[in-house]
Structure 1
Amino acid sequence: MSLRGEGNSTVVRLLVGYAWWSLYYYLVSFYASKHCGSRRNLNVIVGWN
């Protein structure tokens, strides 16, 4: 039962992390496209992280 709990917590962490990364990437891409729409800034921001 403990193994199942650990597995679930790991899956939840992965899903939450993926959701936050997707939201962050979407906001960054939206911000970059809104300001001058330059992909160069997006690449710099993503590359920096």
Structure 2
Amino acid sequence: MGALKVPYGVEKYDKGLYSAKAGTLYVNPGIGTFAVPVRLLCRPEITIIEF
């Protein structure tokens, strides 16, 4: 379903792995909230990226 509301300027980059002009971009849903302190249908996530 995706995000119901995202911060201004985020556009389609709400969650996941993307190929952007500057390179690969990974966006996770994070552990906090934005504007309203409620998380609906979005489990908190901490991502570990190993190279």
Query: Which bin holds the TM-score, normalised by the shorter protein?
Result: under 0.3
Please identify which structure carries the higher helix content: 1
Q: Which has the larger radius of gyration?
A: 1
Please identify which structure carries the higher strand content: 2
Greater length-normalized contact order (CA 8 Å, ≥ 6 residues apart) = 2
